[in-house]
Structure 1
Amino acid sequence: MSENMLITDIFTKFQKDLDADQELREVIRTICKEVQQMSREAVTVLQIIHHKEEGIIQACQKARELFGKAREKYASLKQTVPSTDYYKYHDHWRGVTQQYCFLISLVIWLEMGILASHETIAEVLGISSVEEKEGFHLDIEDYLVGLLLLCSELSRYAVNCVTRGDYAKPSQISKFIMELNAGFRLLNLKNDHLRKRFDALKYDVKKIEEVVYDLSIRGLLPKPESGEGQK
């Protein structure tokens, strides 16, 4: 009888633990839904780059406002998720965080034409950039997936720039993507999802190479400024 009571107590505790975990997951899901909604708004705002050049600066400013709101939600996630359980619940925010890595890196590229570092994106989101055993941080693989998404978006942007008669931007994009491609080739990628995303990069590289080549043979590439490259 006492043994049966002991078993009952054990499984009663299991149920309490399962209930607590489920309640925590519901809180996390609610926060992540709000974060996802802001990311969708940012995607919509930034689609202007594929239609016209005017308004891109304002779109970047609007996107940054949405990043600020997302930062507040990430602060809520940091408070909600136990410091030791980051990877236990990571799947809830993995996808949307990769999306934010893409969106933030796109805005920074549009504004300054440079690569957004892992530390910069973490700072925008208000989370740690240090890969920690405990605590909420920006996972490096999430950052890398975001950069691969950026390459796909920029290759599409290059095509639409040509449609609008902007023949200089594709060369700038080509140089940037080539440098990123070279960087990724230095990595020994173990993550299957990341590896598949990287495998798709070759198609983005090919697309932008074809755009630049077509402009070149048609004589539409802007000529270097006088004296450029000369000493």
Structure 2
Amino acid sequence: MSVTEKLTSEIARNTFEKKVLSAIPHLHPYVKHRIYIAETTGILPKNMFSSNGIIDESIILLYDNDFDVDAEPLAVKLELFKIVDNYMNLLFKNEAYHKETISTDALLKKELSKLSEDYTVDGDFDFILNTELNDISYHQNDNETLQLYSDKETSILTAFEVEDLSTKQSPKVFDKLYNWLPFNVSNIMDLYIFGKLDFESIAKIKKIEQKRVEAIFDKVKRTFRRHIE
């Protein structure tokens, strides 16, 4: 039975709606950032998708799903993050043809195909994480310079515990991070940095063990710091 079908009284509808509305402010920074990265790396055409539109579609899916309407606000928030994450992953797969080169496009589609898996094979992330960020095999777009807004840079630096990155050095470092980091790995990083989710919540959303999420974050963090030294 769908959420809509379960909410038979006005009180129940209002109570559940408040839980949904309380989650939206947490979703927007994450969705906006993922759209921006996808646009800049050529996966999505610019200005075609908005965070409002994606979140609205995800809320509709939530109401169409079989979900516990009495769940705590945190559970509702995590369910919405899961729906949003799946929605965007499918969107990115479908829009991958906007990439400019055949070789890069094929690589990206291969990367994105992993997003639909349950991540039960340890080698998936081990292979990715053992690849240096400057490995050309993961270079998503040589000709596109990615420029993050200062508040986004600050969020990433805070998460990676970096305090002494110079203004001149900053653009080059972030260009490398998001143009060369595999998309499914940056997805996990952004859930933590911009979605403000802890490792346990991310593990639930991605259906992987928490220790693997922690290992991924630690590996990217150390690799990032090594590239700015």
Same fold (TM over 0.5): no
When you count helix as a share of all residues, which structure comes out higher? 1
Q: Mark the structure with the bigger radius of gyration.
A: 1
Scaled by the length of structure 2, the TM-score of the pair is 0.30
